[in-house]
Amino acid sequence: MRNYLEKLINRENLTTEEMKAAVRYCFKETATDSEIAAFLTALQAKGETADEIAGIVDVIRDASSFQASAITDAMDNCGTGGDKSYSFNISTTSAFVLAGAGVTVAKHGNRSITSKSGSADVLEQLGVSLSFSKEQIEELLQENQIAFLFAPNVHAALKPFTKVRRELRIPTIFNAIGPLTNPIALESQLLGVYRQELMPILAEALHKLGRKRAVVVNGAGNVDEATLAGENQLIFLDDGKLTSFTLRPEDVGLPYYSKDEIRGGDAKQNAAILLDVLKGKNGAYYNTTILNAGIGIFANGKAETIEDGIEFARESIDSGAALAKLEYLINYSNKIPSEVF
């Protein structure tokens, strides 16, 4: 570890293999909190590279017992958080729209960190279990095309890092990599980022991690979701090729809404918003959802254009398919014995 720390302090980048070795060391019982804290702090001060991000993600995924070899065509849609926009749960709502449009979604998420309600908080409010086993997740993905993977449940090995991060109380590499650590082998991904400078780094990391298609988006106003408040910045990954472009509401025939119009609340309020959207209630929440779901459907490859993706998203809601995916997940959760729910 000392050699790696010296390189980082000297602002030298670690190779993927060096990063893997350093992270594996942190998982050992002999690693001290001081060493882990120094590693995270030095890495943050230098700035992470795509190789370093891919290295730590590979080790975290390998340490999870929730890797599902039976699932080969799943995607995830998630933001890094940290934008402090206090929006409703956009990616969680969009996930059901994606599933209703025929996309298999392994939704990876956590409780609130920088907002009033994280994906886990709102799903728990709706009656969805946070304790699915690996076998249950595989069954849900095959039968319902959507399952929720609660990060602390699928990444139990991260406890040494969790303790140190809680004590450090500063941003670390973990603030950027959460959406990348899904233990399911994803073929495609929609990743929201609130820091524009991270977009090309994370797009390259997605390629190194094996994503065939992906979209990295920085929403208007530096939100970690696409918004209808102005110009969104996007990077499209397609078989190793990165293409940058911008997207405005008028480009896809959607109305303008300010960031204030998509603010959410606590888990109960955001659950009500999610249900309203899936029941087809028009407005800022609905249109923001179909924008993000449309981009996700495009990222997955089911739609050739984002405009087509938005139409698929609209149909997913209007047909009742999106809501049916949520209802299935709730009913499935209710059948799980109370001691493991």
| DSSP codes, 28-84 | STT--HHHHHHHHHHHHHH---HHHHHHHHHHHHHT-TT--TT--S-EEEEE-----
230 appears as a binding residue in the annotation: no
87 appears as a binding residue in the annotation: yes
172: which 2 tokens?
Answer: 């670390």
81 appears as a binding residue in the annotation: no
79 appears as a binding residue in the annotation: yes
211 appears as a binding residue in the annotation: no
| Residue with the two structure tokens 């975290």 | 60
36 appears as a binding residue in the annotation: no
Strands in 239-329 per DSSP E? 241-247
112 appears as a binding residue in the annotation: yes
18: which 2 tokens?
Answer: 């060096």
225 appears as a binding residue in the annotation: yes
9 appears as a binding residue in the annotation: no
The residues facing 23 across adjacent strands are none
* 186 residue type, one letter: L
Contact 59, 20 (CB under 8 A): yes
124 appears as a binding residue in the annotation: no
Contact 316, 101 (CB under 8 A): yes
CA–CA distance, 47 with 41 (Å, rounded to integer): 10
3 appears as a binding residue in the annotation: no
258 appears as a binding residue in the annotation: no
As a 3-state breakdown, the chain gives helix, strand, coil percent values, each rounded to 5, of: 55, 15, 35
114 appears as a binding residue in the annotation: yes
Contact 175, 80 (CB under 8 A): yes
CA–CA distance, 106 with 185 (Å, rounded to integer): 9
61 appears as a binding residue in the annotation: no
83 appears as a binding residue in the annotation: yes
309 appears as a binding residue in the annotation: no
92 appears as a binding residue in the annotation: yes
Instruction: Extract the annotated binding site for anthranilate.
Output: 79, 110, 165
* Residues of the binding site for Mg(2+): 91, 224-225
Residue list for the binding site: 79, 82-83, 87, 89-92, 107-115, 119, 165, 224-225
Q: Which residues are annotated as a binding site for 5-phospho-alpha-D-ribose 1-diphosphate?
A: 79, 82-83, 87, 89-92, 107-115, 119
